[in-house]
Structure 1
Amino acid sequence: MKLRPGLLALLVLAVLGLLAVLALPRLATPREGSTEVRFVREMIQHHAQAVDMATRIRDRSDDPTLRSLALDIMLSQQEQIGQMRGWLTLWGLPWGGQGMTAEHARMMGMATPAELNSLDTPPVPQAEKTFLQLMIRHHQGALEMLKPALGGGVRPEVQALARQIHAAQGGEIKLMTQLLADRDAQPLPAPAGDGGGMDGMEMGGHQH
């Protein structure tokens, strides 16, 4: 049967497209020490603390905007933790690894155990201010951590997640800064993050 010119052209394009895909080099599975693995493991730990802080303040606050923000952080970051753990499983790597040293955690905007506990005992209005200050700094640290994952040579799914986190947490920083101003308070100094790797002891955290 003779093919019509238009159909023949489409068939040729489809074959050429398939050949182009087959000719592409397969992406290597990330290994220990790679940008992808370091980023994912660090962000899992960072996200876990954000979920912890959001859970603490949502348990105490009656402010609907703050409770909604806390719930958004809890749900979105728990989902991303699951996604990143899934990647590690697909890559044949354990979820865990060495945690951040206290110094590196500070540079990534993470709260100390004492700062986490300060969300539990003071009057609610003060705890709300503290939460906003700690979470703004925490998000600022996350934006530093994204930089290596947004560079060249990183797997596209990891880059896509990094862009998603950047957009979401950038918007949340603006909202939290306004909520803090409404309470006549100012953000803490931004962390002096370096986007580097993790090593040393694990930071403590309260789990719900």
Structure 2
Amino acid sequence: MRRAAVPALLVLVTLVAAALLLTPRLMPPTEHSREVRFVREMIQHHTQAVDMALQVREQSADATLRTVALDILLSQQEQIGQMRGWLTLWHRPWGGPGMSADHARMMGMATQAEVNRIGTLLPAQAEVQFLQLMTRHHQGALTMVAPVLEGRVQPAVEALARQIQSTQAAEIRLMTTLLADRGAKPLPAPAGMGAGEHQH
């Protein structure tokens, strides 16, 4: 029995080795690829979210809001590290042209003046400002992940896009409720958001 098993095992090992040799290696994305553009722009987008989350945690004593801000802060910092790691593995610089001011606005990003204002308002006003800006910011992120979710990108990048979509859609619903609790409404959706994306 053992003698018969040895040749069979050798055949199996040979077949696995041949399959590995024939499997095309995943080539690093090029400078102008969908992956590199998405990662660089999402790093820029996430960085602003982290800034806003830090500011509202300094202003607000509301436990629920502080937890939401902390979740955004920790998850998006982690994802920034993950995306920078990919750029390093792909031999691409972290920096790049990034989004223009107009494009960033279409993707839900706030102006720097709007972000800075969070830290100058009274706590109740700062909470509303944060929730409105972050809701619009998350809506922009849903627009940004849409092309990546069409496929034709590296699986890890698509998986991150799906994670962002799921997490931020849930946070939009929660932040809309928190705004209503404060007698406030979300800002108009960003210009880049399609009608079908509003209900995520």
**Which segments of structure 1 move beyond 3 Å, counting only runs of 4 or more?**
10-22
- Alignment identity in percent? 66
Following superposition of structure 1 onto structure 2, how do residues 1-208 of structure 1 map, counting pairs within 5 Å? Answer: 1-3=2-4, 8=8, 16-193=15-192
**Cα RMSD, aligned residues only:** 2.0
Mapped partners of 1:118, 1:12: distance in 2: 68
- Following superposition, the deviation at residue 20 of structure 1 comes to 3.2
Any idea what the Cα deviations from partners look like across 1:1-24, whole Å, max 9, x if unmatched?
A: 4335xx94x876665455334322
Q: Give the TM-score, by structure 1 length.
A: 0.86
Any idea what the Cα deviations from partners look like across 1:95-135, whole Å, max 9, x if unmatched?
A: 00113222101100000012112201121101101100100
Mapped partners of 2:164, 2:67: distance in 1: 18
Mapped partners of 1:167, 1:65: distance in 2: 20
- Structure with bigger helix share is 2
Letter in 2 for 1:156: P
Letter in 2 for 1:190: A
Q: Give the TM-score, by structure 2 length.
A: 0.89
Of the structure 1 ranges 40-49 and 142-151, higher mean CA displacement relative to structure 2 is found in 142-151
Mapped partners of 1:192, 1:73: distance in 2: 23
The 3 A distance-change label for structure 1 pair 170 and 11 is farther
Q: Is the 8 A contact 2:151 2:158 kept in 1?
A: no
Q: Is the 8 A contact 2:139 2:193 kept in 1?
A: no
Letter in 2 for 1:182: D
Q: Is the 8 A contact 2:29 2:90 kept in 1?
A: yes
Q: How many residues align?
A: 193
The 3 A distance-change label for structure 1 pair 11 and 71 is farther
Of the structure 1 ranges 110-119 and 51-60, higher mean CA displacement relative to structure 2 is found in 110-119
Gaps of 5+ in 2: 195-200
